[in-house]
Structure 1
Amino acid sequence: MASTNANPLSAKLTKLLSSSLDDAKLRTSLSALSDFYAVNAVNSRHNLRGDIERRGTEVNYEFLRELEKVNIQFLELEEEMNSMNSLCQEMQDRLNLANEKTATLLEQTDALREQSNICMVRQTIMEAFLDRFTLSESEITILCSTAMDVTPSFFDALEHLENIHADCNALLITEHQRAGLEIMDSMRTYRSISYDKLYRWMQSECRTMSRPDGMMEVREVTKKAIQALKQDDPFFRSILEELVHVRRNAILRAFIDALTRGGPGGTPRPIELHAHDPLRYIGDMLAWLHQTVASEREFLESLLNSERRTRDRGQTEVKLPKASPLRLVESDVSDADIVDSLLDKNLEGTSRPLKSRVEQVLISQANAITAFKISNLIKFYLTTIERAIGPEASLSKTLHEIAESSMQVFFEAVGKKSADLLRRPDVPAADLGPTPSMKETVSQLKEIMKSFDTSFVQIDEGNQDFAPILSAVIDPLFQMCEIGAANLSAFNRAVYMMNCLHYVQSALVYPFTKHKVESLEKQVQEYVDIVVDEQHMVLLKQSGIAPLIQAMETKDDKTPLSQVPSMDSTSVSAVLSRLDHFLGSVNLDLTSWLSKIVSSRLAKAISTQNVKLFVDAYRRLCEEIEDPKNKYEFPATILVRTADEVEMLLVED
C-alpha cells in the first residue's frame, strides 16, 4: 500500500479517475485545449506545457499593443483639453472685460425696471380707482339717454353709480376730500338724471297695470325698478300714489261691471240680477271682494318682492309713515307694511257701492231670520278679509259698519215681534202647554241658532256674541207668558211657566247657549219648588194630618203635644186611622196633578220630592208622638203605620 502511494503516476491516475467530468472548470479547460491541436498526437501532449506558456506570452503582447493605442488617444485628448482650457480662459477674460464695461448699464436697467414696476402699480391703482369711482361711457349712456329703454343693464349701471356714491363717503375722511367731493357732485348729477328717467319709465309702466283681476304677470325689470326707486323716497312715494290711482280705479270699475254687466260675454251673470235674493246678492258681492283681496295681495307681493304676512285676528295695521330724508329701505317700514297700505287704498273705492247696496237690502228687510243670516254672512267675510288687510283698513271698517247695521235691523225686527207678543199675549190652554206664539217664536229661534252654528264663529266669541240675541228673543217671550198666566192659580201658573221654560230650554242644544240654559234651569227650579210646596200642602190636607203638623209646629215648647187642643190620643188616632185609604189613592192624585207637566223628568222629580216631604212630615209626627215628654200613652196603638211603612207604600205606588 505504501508503494502505491509513493508512485506519482499511480497518484495522478487515481486523481484523474476520481475527477468528475461534470465539473464546469474542467469542461471549460478541455474546450479551450481542443482549439490548440487538430490531432491528438504524442508530441502534442509532450509539448502541452510549452504551448500553453507560448500562447500566454502571445496574449500578453497583444494586450500591450492595444494599451499603446489607448495611450496615444489619451495624449491626443490631453492636447485638445489644453487647447479648450486656453480658449475658456480667453473667453473668461473677455467676459470680465464685458462685465466691467456693462456694470453701469445694468445699474441703469435696474433703476428703470424699478420705476417701471412703480408705474405699473400706479396704473393698476388708477384703473381700480377709475373703475370704482367713475362710470364708463356706456354706463353713462344707459343711465342718461332717454332714447334707450330701461333694461337689466340699466340696473347694473345704477347699482354701480350707487356704490360709487356710497364709497365717496370713505374718501371724505381721508386726505382726498377734494376728489371725493368732486366725484360725489358728478355722481349726484348722474343719479338725479337716472332716477328721473327710471321714474318716468315706471309711470308709464304703472298705467299698463289697469287689469282689474290683479293677476297680471309682473316683469322682472318692473320688480327691479320698484326696488331701485326705494332708494329715492319722493320718487318711490309718487310711484306708489300713481299705482294706487290706477289700481283703485281698475278695481272699482271691475266691481261695478261685476254688479251691472257681469263677466266677459255675460259669464258670470251680473250680481244685481239676484237682488231679489238678499243672501245670495250680498254673498256674491262679498265673495267677489274676497277673491279680489286675495288676487290683489298676490299682485302687490309679486311687485314688491314681499313675503306673505301671517296676521292674527285683531292685529293692527302698520301705516306707511310720512316722507323723511331717510331712505325707505333703511326705515322701519317693511315691504309687508307697504303691501298692506297699498291693498287698503286700492280696495277703498269698493266700500261706498258695497255699503249703499247692503243698506238698501237691509232697509227693505223685515224678516228677522233673513237679517240675522245676512249679519252672519257679513261677519264671516269680515273675519276672512280682515285677516288679509287688517282691522284698520277702509274695507274692514265698512264691513264692520254693515255688520252692525244688519244686527240693528235684526234686533229691530225682534223688538217689533216682541212688542206684538206683549200687546196681545196668548192665554194658556187647558193643558198648560206652550202657546202657538211661543212655538212659532222658538221655531224661529232654532233657525237663528242653526244659522249661527254654521257661521264659522269661534265658540268663545259665540258665547259672547249670541247672549244678547238670546236675551232679545227669550226675555220678551217669558214676559208674554207671565202676562198671559196672570189670572191662573199659583199652582197652574207655576206649571205653565215651567212648561214654557222647559220648551225653550230643550231647544237650546248648541254650545253657545250653555250659559242661557243654566240661567233657565235656575228659573225652572224656582217654579218646581213652587209646585212642590203647593202639592205638599194639598197632600197634607188630603191625608188629614195637616192640622196635626200645624199643631206640632206651632205649639209651645213647654206644653206637651197631647195637651194641645185636638191633639189628644183619641183625636190623633181618629185622623191616622184614615191614612191607609189616603195612601191607596195618593198615587192617582199625583198622576192627575202632574199630567200637565210636559217634562217627564221634572214630573218625576216633583213626585219624588212630594213623597219625601210627606214622609219627612209624617216621620216628625211619629217622633213627637213617641217622645215621652208629649205624654202619649201607648203610642204604638196610635200610630197605624210607621214612617218606613208609609215611605215603602208611597214608593211602591
Structure 2
Amino acid sequence: MDQMTRNLNSAYQRVYLWLQRELKFLSFETPTGNHRVRRALEVLTNRPALLQSCLDTLAESRQRTLNESFTDALTGRGEADMKPIDVMAHDPIRYTGDMMAWLHSALVGELEALQAIFELSGSERLDDMPSASGVITIAPTDLDLRDHVRPLADKSLENALSAFRLRTEHVISSHEEPTLLYGLLNILTFYRETFKKLVGADTLLVATTDSLASTTTRQLQSCLRDLFRSVQQDIPKPTPDLSPPLFLHDAMGRFRSLVKSFEASLISDSYKSRAFDMIYSEAMKPYIQGCETLSKDLPSPQCHIFMVNCLEVSKDTLRLSGYGTENYMHIIEDAVDSHVLSIVTSLHNFFLEASGLSTILHVGNNDNEGQPESDLLTENILIESSKQLDEFLPTASSDAESQLIYLMRHSLKKTIIQTALNRFVDDFTVVKASLASHTKSSHLATYFPRTAEEIQILLG
C-alpha cells in the first residue's frame, strides 16, 4: 500500500514538472491544440497545491507576454503597420479610451483562450492518456478548472494594468477642464461595468478601474469647486437691469457641456442618477446660491426680480436635458414661486400706497383683521384718499409695468400684475363694505364714491 502511494505521488510530480515546463512557453495563439496541457491540468485537480503552483506559473508567463504586448501597442514597437497609442491618440479622452479598449480586447482574448484550455470535452477528459507524458488516469474531483478562468485572466493583466494605471493617473492629474474630466469619468465607468460582467466585481481589473473613476470624480469636483471659489473672490454686483450675472451664464454653458457628455455616455441606468446629481450639485447649485448672496444687497422687489431672472435661466438650461431633471426642476420652480409671491406682495403694497387706500385701511386697524375702523375715519381722510385714488387709477397698469420693467419673463409679468390688482380690488371691496356696515358713519361713503365695479373696469 505504501509503495502504491509513493508511486502515485511520483506520478503526480512527473505531471507537475512536465506541466511547469509546458506552461512557461504555452502559446495562446492556438489554445485548442493544447489538449495534453488540458489533460494534465485536469489530473492535478486532485492535488490543489500543485495545480495552484502551475496556475501561478501560467499567470507569470501571461503577465510578461501581455505587458510586452501592451507596451508594443503604446509605442508601436511591434508590427510595422501598428498605430501606436502614444502617438495617434493626442486627445486625453481618446488616449484613455484606446488603452481601455486594448485591455478589454486582451481580457476577452485571455478568457476565450483559458476557457478553451480548461473546459475539457467529454472525449478528452482522461481516457487513453499516453504514458510517456507521465499522466495517469485519476478519478475526477469536485474541483472545476473553469473556476480558475476569470481569476487567472484578471491576474494575467496585472502588469499591463499597472502601466495603464500610471498613465491614466497622469492624464487625470494634468487636466483641469471639467468637460474633459467628465468624459474620462464616463469611459472609466463604462469599462468598469463591462469588466464586472466579464470577470466579476471582486477583481483587480475592476478595483483599479473603480479607483481611477473615484480619482477622476475627486479631480472633477475639485476643479468645479475651484472655479466657483474664483467667482466668489471677485463676485460682481448686480447690474442695474437686474439681468443674470455673467458668471451664471458661464456656469450654465459649462453645465450644458457636462450634460451633453452625460447623455452621450454609455453608463448603466443604476449609475445615471448619481452622475446627474453630482453634475447639478457641483456645476449649477453653487452658482444659484451665489446669485442669492448677490440679491441680499438689493431692496424689494428688485432682489426678487433678480432671483427670478437667474432661476429662469437655470430652469431653461435644465430643460435641455431629457434625464434626471424632474426633481431639480421642481426645486427651482418652487423657488421661483416663492420669489413671485414676494413680488406680488410688494406690488400690492405699492398699489395701496399709491392709491391712498392704505391710509383708510390703517385707520384704527390694530386689531380689526384688515378692516378699517369707520368710527375713526373723517371726511378729510376720505376726501383726500378719494382724490388720490382718482389720480392713481388711470396710470395703475403702466406704473405696475414700470415696477417690473426688468423682469425678463413677460408672461410672468402679466400674471404678477393681475394678481396684485385682484388683491387691490379685494381690499377696496373690504373698505366699501366697512363703510356701508356702520350706520353712524354711512354718510361718509358719499366722500368715497367709487364702486368696486368701477375700479375693476378702470384697472382693466
Once residues 306 and 350 of structure 1 are traced to their aligned partners in structure 2, the CA distance between those partners, rounded to angstroms, is 29
1:437 maps to 247
Contact 1:418 1:477 in 2 (8 A): yes
Give the structure 2 partner of residue 233 of structure 1. Answer: 48
Structure 1 residue 646 corresponds to structure 2 residue 455: yes
Deviation at 1:282, TM superposition (A): 0.7
Query: Are the equivalent residues in 2 in contact too, given 1:286–1:381 (CA < 8 A)?
Result: yes
Residue 109 of structure 2 corresponds to residue 300 of structure 1: no
Q: Is the 8 A contact 1:350 1:395 kept in 2?
A: no
CA pair 202-528 structure 1, distance change in 2 beyond 3 A: same
Closer/same/farther in 2, CA of residues 560 and 546 from structure 1, 3 Å limit: closer
User: Letter of the aligned partner of 1:381 in structure 2?
Assistant: Y
Q: Is 1:518 equivalent to 2:334 in the alignment?
A: no
Within 5 Å, give how 1:347-362 maps onto structure 2: 347-362=157-172
Distance 1:230-1:528 versus aligned 2 partners, 3 A rule: same
Tell me how far apart the structure 2 counterparts of residues 215 and 607 of structure 1 sit (CA, whole Å): 81
Counterpart of 1:280 in structure 2 is 94
Q: Distance in 1 between matches of 2:368 and 2:338?
A: 33
* Equivalent of 1:544 in 356, 365, 385: 356
Could you say what secondary structure the match of 1:264 adopts?
A: coil
Output the CA distance in 1 between the equivalents of 2:182 and 2:249: 19
Q: What is the alpha-carbon distance in structure 2 between the residues aligned to residue 380 and residue 589 of structure 1?
A: 58
Q: 1:488 aligns with which of 291, 298, 309?
A: 298
What SS does the aligned partner of 1:512 have? coil
Report what 2:340 is aligned to: 528
Query: Letter of the aligned partner of 2:68 in structure 1?
Result: R
SS in structure 2 at match of 1:532: helix
Where does residue 12 of structure 2 map in the other structure?
A: 195
The one-letter code matched in structure 2 to 1:236 is L
- Partners of 1:555 and 1:376 lie apart in 2 by 63
2:183 corresponds to: 373
Question: In the alignment, residue 199 of structure 1 is paired with which amino acid?
Answer: Y
What do residues 334-373 of structure 1 show as CA deviations (whole Å, max 9, x unaligned)?
5453222212211222232111111211222121221121
1:58-101 Cα distance to aligned partner (Å, 9 max, x none): xxxxxxxxxxxxxxxxxxxxxxxxxxxxxxxxxxxxxxxxxxxx
Do the aligned partners of 1:624 and 1:630 also contact (CA within 8 Å) in 2?
no
Amino acid corresponding to residue 259 of structure 1 in structure 2: L
- Deviation, 1:240, is 1.1
How many angstroms apart in 2 are the aligned matches of 1:602 and 1:577? 32
Cα distance change on mapping 1:496 and 1:288 into 2, 3 Å: same
Secondary structure of the structure 2 residue equivalent to 1:434: coil
Query: Which residue in the other structure is 1:264 paired with?
Result: 79
Indicate if the aligned counterparts of 2:20 and 2:54 stay in contact, CA closer than 8 A.
yes
Q: Distance in 1 between the 2:180 and 2:434 partners?
A: 67
Distance 1:218 1:518, change over 3 A: farther
Provide the rounded CA distance (Å) in 2 between the counterparts of 1:637 and 1:513.
57
Matches of 1:638 and 1:531, distance apart in 2: 29
Aligned partners of 1:304 and 1:335 also within 8 Å: yes
Q: What is the identity, as a one-letter code, of the residue corresponding to 2:375?
A: Q
Q: In structure 2, how many angstroms separate the alpha carbons of the residues matched to 1:237 and 1:340? A: 14
Q: Partners of 1:460 and 1:436 in 2: how far apart?
A: 35
Contact 1:218–1:302, Cα closer than 8 Å, also in 2: no
Seen in structure 2, the aligned counterparts of structure 1 residues 202 and 413 have a Cα distance that, compared at 3 Å, is same
Where 2:103 maps in the other structure, the secondary structure is helix
Residue in 2 aligned with 1:382?
192
After superposition, give the CA deviation of every residue in 1:525-574 in whole Å (9 maximum; x if it has no partner): 232222222111111112221111222643668x982221xx23563255
Distance, in Å, in 1 between the alignment partners of 2:253 and 2:351 is: 38
Pair 1:560–1:622, CA change in 2 (3 A): closer
SS of corresponding position for 1:597: coil
Tell me, which stretches of 5 or more residues in structure 1 are unaligned? 1-180, 308-326
Aligned in 2, Cα 1:329/1:429: closer, same or farther, shift over 3 Å?
A: farther
Query: For residue 38 of structure 2, what is the aligned residue in structure 1?
Result: 223
Shift of the 440–641 alpha-carbon distance from structure 1 to 2, 3 Å rule, reads: same
Structure 2 partner of 1:208 = 25
User: Which deviations, in whole Å up to 9, do the C-alpha atoms of 1:284-338 show, x marking residues without a partner?
Assistant: 111111111222112222222189xxxxxxxxxxxxxxxxxxx99325xx54532
2:415 counterpart (596, 601, 605): 605
Out of 146, 150, 153, the residue aligned to residue 343 of structure 1 is 153
Query: What is the distance in 1 between the residues matched to 2:367 and 2:164?
Result: 79
Choose from 395, 398, 402 the match for 2:208.
Answer: 398
User: Taking structure 1 as reference, are residues 525 and 329 closer, same or farther at Cα in structure 2, changes over 3 Å only?
Assistant: farther
Find the aligned partners of 2:268 and 2:316 in 1 and give their Cα distance: 23
Query: Using the alignment, how far apart are the partners of 1:626 and 1:590 within structure 2?
Result: 30
Aligned residues: 440
Residue identity over aligned pairs, in percent, reads 24
Helix, strand or coil for the counterpart of 1:243? helix
C-alpha distance in structure 2 between counterparts of 1:577 and 1:560, whole Å: 18
1:281 is aligned with what amino acid? Y
Distance 1:611 1:276 in 2: 63
Counterpart of 1:250?
65
SS at match of 1:370: helix
Do the aligned partners of 1:274 and 1:280 also contact (CA within 8 Å) in 2? Answer: no
Q: CA deviation at 1:222?
A: 3.3
Equivalent in the alignment of 2:104? 290
Matched AA of 1:365: H
CA separation in 1, counterparts of 2:267 and 2:59? 33
Partner of 2:386: 576
Partners of 1:625 and 1:579 lie apart in 2 by 16
RMSD, matched Cα:
2.9
After superposition, what is the alpha-carbon deviation per residue over 1:202-258, rounded to whole angstroms, capped at 9, x for unaligned? 3333233355xx774453443333223212323322221121111122111211111
Deviation at 1:278, TM superposition (A): 0.8
Where do residues 307-322 of structure 1 align in structure 2 (5 Å cutoff)?
A: none
The 2-side partners of 1:497 and 1:208 are apart by 71
Contact 1:561 1:631 in 2 (8 A): no
**Which protein shows a greater Rg?**
1
Separation in structure 2 between the aligned mates of residue 612 and residue 328 of structure 1, nearest angstrom: 90
Equivalent of residue 467 in structure 1, options 273, 277, 287: 277
How far residue 280 of structure 1 moved from its aligned partner, in angstroms, is: 0.9
1:78-117 matched pairs, under 5 angstroms: none
Q: How high is the TM-score relative to the length of structure 1?
A: 0.62
Q: Which has the higher relative contact order, 1 or 2, with Cα contacts under 8 A spaced 6 or more apart? A: 2
Q: CA deviation at 1:281?
A: 0.7
- Measured in 2, the distance between the counterparts of 1:335 and 1:646 equals 92
Shift, 1:462, TM fit: 2.5
| Cα distance in 2 for residues equivalent to 1:302 and 1:478 | 58
SS at match of 1:501: helix
